[in-house]
Amino acid sequence: MSAKLIKGTDIREEILEEVTKEVAELKEKTGKVPGLVTILVGENPASVSYVTLKIKTAHRVGFTEIQDNQSPDISEEDLLALIDKYNNDDTINGILVQLPLPKHIDDKKILNAIDPDKDVDGFHPVNVGRLMIGGDEVKFAPCTPAGIQEMIVRAGVETSGAEVVVVGRSNIVGKPIANMMVQKGPGANSTVTIVHTRTKDLAAHCKRADILIVAAGVPGLVKPEWIKPGACVIDVGVNRVGTKISEKTGKEVAVLRGDVDFDAAKEIAGSITPVPGGVGPMTITMLMVNTLKSFKFANGLM
Ligand code: NAP
């Protein structure tokens, strides 16, 4: 039997509509809207396209969006001063610095200079610590893991008592999602295992998973026989495995593949995310959710 598809594209629409509605209500109530600034240093084409998508989405939900483009020659000192300016600007609730930064700038220093209460990416050590503590301490969960948890919950998958296996231990996906699923609270309360390249028997761990979250960056790593029948499979992997000509635009586009052998896995899993169109669209969506949260914290509404 074919698994239920958990489509990030559909969940994105649901969430963005909810955010748009709430922003309109808050505007009515407070006369203000959330503000998001995106700082882009240089013109790396991939960064430009991410930033453009973030801005478009922020406009769509009714935020004030500032795209602050800086020359690739900006000094570290000037970039720190720019962050300080936005840290002290009450109309700005979220500050994003698009990575990668030029080599002469220490990205850690820059990211750590962002006010943790405006760190809507959730990567500041203060927010990482808050996430570890859990409960009311959490302000911003990092966007991709937050998107994964939201997909699991909205798909109606039971997390309490579930065996969750996370493949990958990166700071941006594996470790935070594992930490989130083990917390006490709704959408969590799971028993979590993290596996990685030094794990002895990857297949045996995956086979136990009621919820299998794969973020390894290895196309087709997870074989269908590693999947427990009926499991929820979240494939975070986005791997370029070639190019093709788009039917829509006639232009050459990347062929993307996940970390799971999707065609075979969907015959065994209970629910599964596709690639593309699964976890991918959730990251920017949750950035909007975090910026709205930040606005509510700043205005004593949360
Ligand atoms: P990463 O930093 O490269 O981490 C990959 C993790 O997977 C590492 O912990 C690594 O183990 C583990 N791993 C790699 N190969 C493995 C194998 N053969 N067996 C077991 N474990 C293995 O990657 P990431 O940043 O977390 O991203 C993972 C994937 O998710 C990538 O495809 C990325 O493009 C995608 N991604 C998607 C989104 C999105 O859709 N919005 C966001 C972020 C990432 P070791 O630690 O032992 O090396």
Expressed in angstroms and rounded, the spacing between residue 82 Cα and the centre of ligand 1 is 32
Determine the Cα–Cα distance for residues 123 and 125; give it in Å rounded to an integer. 6
CA of 236 to the centre of ligand 1 (A): 8
Task: Examine the pLDDT at 118 and tell me if it is beyond 90.
Answer: yes
Instruction: Report whether residue 191 contacts ligand 1, using a CB cutoff of 6 Å.
Output: no
pLDDT at site 168? 98
pLDDT in tens, 41-73: 999 999 999 999 999 999 999 999 999 999 999
Enumerate the domain spans of the chain: 30-119, 142-282
Give tens-digit pLDDT for 156-193: 999 999 999 999 999 999 999 999 999 999 999 999 99
Hey, how many other C-beta atoms are within 10 angstroms of the C-beta on 276? 16
pLDDT band at 146 (very low <50, low <70, confident <90, very high): very high
Asked whether 238 lines ligand 1 (CB < 6 A), one says yes
The sign of the dihedral angle between the CA atoms of 30, 33, 34, 39 is negative
Q: Is 130 flagged in the annotation as binding? A: no
> Which string of b and e fits 61-74 if b means at least 16 CB within 10 Å?
bbbebbbbebeeeb
Candidates 10, 29, 32, 54; catalytic one:
54
CA–CA dist 151, 136 (Å, integer) = 21
Give the chain's mean pLDDT. 97
Ligand 1 mean position, distance from CA 74 (Å)? 31
Nearest-CA residue for atom 2 of ligand 1? 170
Give the closest residue (by CA) to ligand 1 atom 30.
Answer: 237
174 Cβ inside 6 Å of ligand 1: yes
Domain 142-282 has CATH 1.25.40.10: no
CB 69 within 8 A of CB 53: no
CATH architecture of the domain 30-119 equals: 3-Layer(aba) Sandwich (3.40)
Listed residue (7, 69, 13, 81) closest to 43, CA to CA: 69
pLDDT the model gives residue 58 = 98
Strand order of the sheet with strand 191-195? Answer: 4-5, 271-272, 232-235, 211-214, 163-167, 191-195
21 is catalytic: no
pTM above 0.85, yes or no: yes
CA of 106 to the centre of ligand 1 (A): 23
Residues 210-255: tens digit of each pLDDT: 999 999 999 999 999 999 999 999 999 999 999 999 998 999 999 9
User: Residue 218: its pLDDT value, please?
Assistant: 98
Proportion of the chain above pLDDT 90, given as a percent? 99
Mutate to test the pocket of ligand 1, among 7, 169, 195 (most ligand atoms within 8 A of CB): 169
Please say if 54 is a catalytic residue.
Answer: yes
213 lines ligand 1 (CB under 6 A): no
Closest CA to 276 of 12, 3, 56: 12
Q: pLDDT at residue 1 above 90?
A: no
In the annotation, is 296 catalytic?
no
